[in-house]
C-alpha cells in the first residue's frame, strides 16, 4: 500500500544538498487540509548553518500559510531508522505539537511515533 506522505518524503530526499556528509534526508509534512509540504537537508561548509529536512518542511509550510498539521514523514537511507535531531524536535513541537512522526527508508521499513515519545519534556511558550 502506497502512502503519498512517505512517497513525498522519499522523493524530497533525492533533492538533498549534502556534499559534505553525504547523509541525505527528506521530510514531508501533512497539514490539516491534507496538503503536503516537503523539505530536504541543505548543508553548508560551516556545518553550523546546515538546515535539516524537517525544519525546511515546517518553515515552507508556515510560509505557505499552513498552521495545523497531522503528521510528518522523515526519510533517510539507514537500516536503523533516523529520528529528528533535537533542534528539529523543538521546531516540530512549537509549530506542530504532538504530531505523528513516521520514519521511513527507501526499502520500505517504517516506524511511527508521537512527538511526545521522542521529546518528553519540551520547552514551549507556557514556560515564558
Q: What is the structure's pLDDT at 114?
A: 98
Whether residue 48 is contained in a domain is answered as yes
CA 127 to chain centroid, in Å, comes to 25
Whether residue 102 is contained in a domain is answered as yes
- Note if the pTM is more than 0.75: yes
Q: What is the structure's pLDDT at 1?
A: 46
Whether residue 128 is contained in a domain is answered as no
Task: Give me the CATH number covering residue 53.
Answer: 3.40.140.10
Counting the structural domains of the chain, the total is 1
Low-confidence stretches of the chain (pLDDT < 50) are 1
Q: Taking a C-beta distance cutoff of 8 angstroms, is the pair 74, 82 a contact?
A: yes
Whether residue 57 is contained in a domain is answered as yes
Catalytic residues: 54
Q: What is the structure's pLDDT at 93?
A: 97
* 79: containing domain: 4-123
Q: b/e map of 6-30 (b: 16 or more CB within 10 Å)?
A: bebbbebbeebebeeeeebbbbbbb
Amino acid at each position: 500500500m502506497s502512502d503519498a506522505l512517505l512517497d513525498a518524503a522519499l522523493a524530497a530526499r533525492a533533492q538533498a544538498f549534502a556534499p559534505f556528509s553525504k547523509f541525505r534526508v527528506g521530510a514531508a509534512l501533512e497539514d490539516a487540509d491534507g496538503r503536503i509540504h516537503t523539505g530536504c537537508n541543505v548543508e553548508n561548509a560551516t556545518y553550523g548553518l546546515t538546515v535539516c529536512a524537517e525544519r525546511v518542511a515546517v518553515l515552507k509550510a508556515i510560509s505557505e500559510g499552513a498552521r495545523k498539521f497531522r503528521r510528518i514523514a522523515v526519510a533517510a537511507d539507514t537500516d536503523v531508522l533516523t529520528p529528528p535531531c533535537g533542534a528539529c524536535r523543538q521546531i516540530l513541537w512549537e509549530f506542530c505539537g504532538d504530531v505523528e512522526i513516521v520514519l521511513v527508508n527507501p526499502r520500505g521499513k517504517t516506524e511511527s511515533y508521537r512527538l511526545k515519545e521522542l521529546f518528553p519534556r519540551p520547552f514551549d511558550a507556557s514556560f515564558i
